[in-house]
Amino acid sequence: MARPREFDSEEAMEKAMTLFWDRGYEEASLAELLAAMEITRGSFYKAFQDKQSIYLAALDLYNDRVVGRTVAYLTDPAEGAGRARILGLFKRIADMSRKDGDRIGCFLCNALVDRAGGDEAALKLRAMTQRLENGMYRALLDDGLAEEPARGKARGLLSLYFGLRVLGRAGLSAGMAGDCLHQVEQLLARET
């Protein structure tokens, strides 16, 4: 008879995600991963195949929790007009940056820069990026913007989103956050 797991796999997964988010795939050693997850090497290999499989699961967790919540907000008409939802998202990020520097940044942004974890990770990262872009695109369509200009604006906004998150991790100044918000407002301005 197999022994039951002696750890909470959901809690361990959260801790693994936090480590990868902070350190990146390559920089997070297996020893650090085991310590962060508070599990033994044997338990790790019984529950997970290898470091890459736990990294992929961490990306899935981030996609479900953070990207999913962000896209749900962007696409929910009950949250206001599409442009207001987008601006609200950027204001929250800028506020985090001003308040505490947003020093952990965005796991998706960090992982895109890290470019580790193999082809499967690259596919997951592209899918998450597309999911965010589509959330912004749908918000713009909600405001009556035509498909082609909405797609272009969504891509510009996505670039600003990633830039703001990366600069936040680097200790973005309040002035830079304000300038970024101004650029978002300019991009969201209605076309005449």
* Closest CA relative to residue 58, chosen from 13, 110, 111, 125: 13
Task: Please report how many Cα atoms fall inside a 13 Å half-sphere around the Cα of residue 90, on the Cβ side.
Answer: 28
Calpha distance 47→31 (Å, rounded): 16
Residues 6+ apart with CB under 8 A from 191: 145, 149
* Furthest-apart CA atoms within the chain: distance in Å: 71
Local confidence pLDDT in tens for the 192 residues of the chain? 445 456 788 899 999 999 999 999 999 999 999 999 999 998 898 888 899 999 999 999 999 999 999 999 999 999 999 999 999 999 998 887 777 666 677 899 989 988 777 899 999 999 999 999 999 999 999 999 999 999 999 999 999 999 888 887 777 666 788 888 999 999 998 763
Domain boundaries, the chain: 60-188
